[in-house]
Chains A and B, each alone.
Chain A
Amino acid sequence: GQQLNQSPQSMFIQEGEDVSMNCTSSSIFNTWLWYKQDPGEGPVLLIALYKAGELTSNGRLTAQFGITRKDSFLNISASIPSDVGIYFCAGYTGTASKLTFGTGTRLQVTL
């Protein structure tokens, strides 16, 4: 099945650094969502974006809905150890609650 392309695939950063990751698609989506998955757990919703160009924040997280509607970006400021995990983007077209997920960005934070 289709998966969205996320980059980078993985990243190692030091505590306190800012993080940027992105997600691209060949298709247009009406909604973009960002999820975080910890080992042994299901994905947890972080941010939802509904309009092209929209910029939305949730604490230290900021996400943007790309103006082409084919991409999205997630930034994490001042990273902390609990930010470790896999971040997935997901696109939604409005059909049957079907989300198309990205390939994931694995984030590791060193002290």
Chain B
Amino acid sequence: ETGVTQSPTHLIKTRGQQVTLRCSSQSGHNTVSWYQQALGQGPQFIFQYYREEENGRGNFPPRFSGLQFPNYSSELNVNALELDDSALYLCASSWTGSEKLFFGSGTQLSVL
């Protein structure tokens, strides 16, 4: 059984650029959630994808968007990057409606 994998592990971008982060869910899981973790803080819910559609969203602007693919993998896209977007982005997979999330190791994004 493979766990949640994320790529890339680290990324450096400049303000105004766009970024795409990728996530492969744990085998058997059909739901993917994305979280943003700023330095010294707990993870904050961005959104969740189920059946290739957004199924719940946190307090993040529309420039944060996502996709889920038929194999349940997912992408997080962030447009018009801002300095405050610098954070660890975590992907988590689960069964539908389950509270038990299994996290990947994250992508560390730095915006300069």
Q: Which of A33, A41, A96 contacts B55 (CB 8 A)?
A: A96
Q: Is the CB of A104 within 8 A of B105?
A: no
CB distance from B32 to the nearest CB of A (A): 9
Q: Is the CB of B99 within 8 A of A48?
A: yes
* CB nearest to A35 among chain B residues: B103
Q: In the complex, what residues of B have CB within 8 A of residue A99's CB?
A: 43, 45, 99, 101
Q: Which of A1, A43, A104 contacts B103 (CB 8 A)?
A: A43
Residue B106 CB within 8 A of the other chain: yes
Q: What's the tally of chain A residues with a CB closer than 8 Å to chain B?
A: 26
Q: In the complex, what residues of A have CB within 8 A of residue B59's CB?
A: 1
Which of B63-71, B72-80, B90-98 lies at the binding interface?
Answer: B90-98
Q: Which of B42, B102, B106 contacts A88 (CB 8 A)?
A: B42
Q: In the complex, what residues of A have CB within 8 A of residue B97's CB?
A: 94, 97
Q: Is the CB of B48 within 8 A of A44?
A: no
How far, in whole Å, are A43 and B106 apart by their CA atoms in the complex?
Answer: 10
Residue B24 CB within 8 A of the other chain: no
How far, in whole Å, are A31 and B101 apart by their CA atoms in the complex?
Answer: 13
Given known A1-B59, A42-B104, A98-B33, contact A92–B42 (CB-CB < 8 A) = no
Q: Which of A43, A44, A88, A101 has the most CB of B within 10 A?
A: A43
Q: Is the CB of B48 within 8 A of A45?
A: no
Mark interface residues in B36-64 (1 if CB within 8 Å of A CB, else 0): 00001111110010000001101100000
Residue B21 CB within 8 A of the other chain: no
Residue A3 CB within 8 A of the other chain: yes
How far, in whole Å, are A1 and B64 apart by their CA atoms in the complex?
Answer: 15
Q: In the complex, what residues of B have CB within 8 A of residue A44's CB?
A: 103
Q: Is the CB of B56 within 8 A of A98?
A: yes
Q: Is the CB of A33 within 8 A of B48?
A: no
28 CB < 8 A contacts A-B = A1-B45, A3-B41, A3-B44, A31-B99, A33-B99, A33-B100, A40-B105, A42-B105, A45-B102, A48-B100, A90-B42, A94-B97, A95-B56, A97-B31, A97-B56, A97-B92, A97-B96, A97-B97, A97-B99, A98-B48, A98-B58, A99-B99, A99-B101, A100-B45, A101-B44, A102-B42, A103-B41, A104-B41
